[in-house]
Structure 1
Amino acid sequence: MRPLRLAVMLEQALEVGGGFQQPLNDLLWLRDWATQSGNEIVVYSPYPKTLEILKEFGIEGRLRKFGVLDHVFLFLKYCGPFDLVQIALKLRSPFERALIRDGIDVVHFTSTSKRHLLLYELPFIITIFDGCHRDALEFPEVRTFGEFERREILFRLASTKAAAVIVNAPELIDDLCRRYAMERDRAVCIPFSPSTYVSQSTPEAAADAAVLAKYRLEPSYLFYPAQFWPHKNHMTLLAALANLRERGITERLVLCGSDRGGRNKINAAIRTYGLSDQISIIGFVDSAELGALYRGASALVMPSYFGPTNLPPLEAWAVGTPVIYPEAFKTQAGDAAILFDYDDPRSLADAIVDLRTDGTRERLRTAGQLRLAQFAQETEAGRLQFARHLVRLKHRLALTTR
C-alpha cells in the first residue's frame, strides 16, 4: 500500500498567537508520525513568514495563497444553490485542483478553515478550537456583519462532513454533537500543549534579564498575553487594578499582543483610571521572548471570555508561573489556578490579593506541574487515537479509484 499523502494547512498568521502556536505543535507531531509510519506530509501556508519559521524546525513548506477564483467559489458556496452547479458539472476549485496535482490524498486543516468549503473530491480533517460564537455572542468579532452566520455555515459543514474533527476539550465534543449533529466517533480530543518556544526555553538569568530590559520591565508584574479583542476582557482587568489601588495596593501589569481593534478603548480606560504608570503595553513580541516574559511575571492573569480551554495557562505552568483564571473554565484549570468571576472586577481584584498570601505561589506551581503532566498524558492518548483514524482512512482510500 502506497504512503498516505497528507496536506497540512497552517492558515493562522504568527500574530494570532495561540492560534498559530497550537497548529505548529500539531505539525511537529504529524512530522514525527509520518516518519515513523512511512507516510508523507506536505505543509502549506499562505504566509511567507510562516514558511521561514518552519525552516527553523527543518520543515520545507509550500506557499499556497487564496486565488481570485477561490474567492469566487467560496462566495458562491455561501450562496447555497451553487452546490447543484458543481455537482452537475463536477467543478473543482483552483485550490482543490492544485492539491490533487500535488498528489494529496487527505487535507488536514489545523484550524477551522473556510477552505474546506472548496473541497468536493478530497476528504479532509478539521480542527475546531471553540464554539464561542454560540457561547459568547455578545461580542462583535463573532456576531456582526454576517460573522455569526458565516461561522454557522463553517461549523455545520465541517463537523458533519469531515473525516475526523480535532477538538481540545470533551465538552466541545458535546457541544458539536448537540448543535450540529456531529457523529461522536469522528471526534478526536487532543488537549492544547504549551508553545514549543515556551516549553523548550531554558531559564538563563542573563538572557531573561536582557528580554525584560528590552521592554524596560522589572520582574514581579502581572502578565496578560492576548490580542486586543473585546472578548479578551482587558477592561475588567483594568477595573480590578483600579479597585486594588483604592485599597492601597499597586500592581504592575504587562500586556502584549497585536491590536484587533480594541487598543484605543483600552488606552482611554488606562487614562481614565489613572493607571498609566502601572501598565506597560509592549505590543506583539517575538515567540522566543515569551518564556522570559512568563518567568518574569508574578502571575498570568487571563480574564478572557472565550474557552473552554486556552493556551497561556499551559505556558505559565510550563515555566512555574502561577495562574489567575476565570471560574467558568475550571475544567481546564482544576486546582492549579486562583479562580474568579470574569464579569466582576472586585472578584478579580480579590484573586490578585490571594496570590500574595503565604504559600499560595508554591502551591500553584506544584499544582500547575501536575496539571500539565495530566494534559500531556491526555494529549498522547488523543494523538494515538488520531493516528488510528489516519490508518483507517488510508486503508479506505486505497480502495478508491483515484
Structure 2
Amino acid sequence: MPFNIGLTGLNAASTDLQVTGHNIANASTAGFKGSRAEFADVFAMSYTGISKTATGSGTRLAAVSQQFTQGDLEFTDNNLDLAINGQGFFILERDGVVEYTRAGQFQLDKDGYVVNSAGQRLQGYATPGLGGPLQDIRLTTGLATPRATTEITALMNLPATAEEPDQPWAWDAAEGVADPDGYNHSTALSVYDSQGLPRTMTLYFRKEPGTTNEWTFYSSLEGDLIAGPETLEFNPDGTLGTGGPFNITHTVTGPNGPENLEFEIDFSNTTQYGERFTVNSLKQDGYASGGLISLDVEADGTVFARFSNGTNRPLGQVALANFDNPQGLRPVGGTNWVETFESGERLLGQAGDSSFGLIQGGAFENSNVNISEQLVKLITAQRNFQANAQVISTADTLTQTIINIR
C-alpha cells in the first residue's frame, strides 16, 4: 500500500513539475495565461467504512486551472499590435473554425486581411459603433477620395485708414491679372476641384471712393475673373454690417474636366480696424486625394486609415468576446482557446462596453507568468518528488525486513 501512495505522490509532483515547466517555457509568449496544478486526496473506502480510521490512498490531479489575470503591456512600433486592457478575447477565424486569444500580435497578409502568425483572420464589425454580423477585418485603403471646395471662410482685417486707389478697378483678361493701382490689398489661397486638383484663387479688396466704411472685393481663379464687384459694408464700430455670404460658380472648361466649381465665401468675421491689412485665417473645406500614412486603432477598437491630405477613414471595428467562465475555455495551442460547455456561450461586444476592457494599439499583452514565483514552485515540486521517492524507498526497506525474517 505505501508503494501505491508514494507512486501517486510521484505522479502528482511530476505533473506539478510539468505545469510549472510549461509556465516557465511560455514566460515570454504573448497573451499566454499561466496554469496551476490542483490536487485532491484519495480515500479508498467502502460505503460502510469507518472514516475516522481511514488512512487514505494518496493524491490525484483534480484540475489544471488557467489563471486569466492581466499581463503587462509591451509597446511596439507596429500599430496593428493590439492589447486588451481588461476583460475580453480577440476573435479569430479560419476555414470556419472560430478560436479566441489574448495574443494581439497582428499583421496584414497579401490580401489586406488582419491576421496572426498562424494566418487566422481577426474578426470585427464593418461599421464602428453599430455592431452587426462579424466579418474579417480587411484594410483595403487605396487613395483617399478628394473633395471639391464648397465653402471658404475669411477672417481678416481691412484697414480703417485706407485711402481709395489711384486708378479705377481694371482687369486685363489677356494677361489674367488686375491693375495693381486699382485695388488696395489682395490675398490668395488654393481651392480644389472635384478631381482633387488645386487651383489658385485670388481675392482683391478695393476701398470705394467717397465712402468711409465701404469696400468691394473681386475674385479670380487661375487668370479668370469669377466674382465682383461685391460690396462689403462695415458698421461704425468696425464690424461687418452687410456683405455676403457670396455664392460663386466657375465653369471649368476642357475635355474630361472636373465638375464646375461652386462655393460660398463667408466674410462675416472680417473687420475694419486700425491701419494694417491682416489675414488671420483663410480656410476652405476641399482637399486633394491622399496616400495612406498610417493605420491607427482607437481605444474602442475602431481602425482608422490616416492619409496625407489630413483626412482619416474608419475601416472597421475590432470585435471582442467574453465568457461567464473563462477558466472553462479549452486551450488548443497557439495561445488560443475554444468555447466549451463549461465556459458558457460567448458574449459579443465592443471595447469599452460594460463587460469589456479597452484596446491599446501599438502594444501587445505579455505572459502573466511570474518567473520568481514559478521558480519557487519548481523547487517545491522537486522537494515533493524527492519526499515521495523516499516514501517508496522506506516502504521497500520495510518489505525487505519482513522478507528477511527467519
Calculate the TM-score normalised by the size of structure 1: 0.22
Larger Rg: 2
More helix by share: 1
Calculate the TM-score normalised by the size of structure 2: 0.22
Greater RCO between the two (CA within 8 Å, min separation 6)?
A: 2
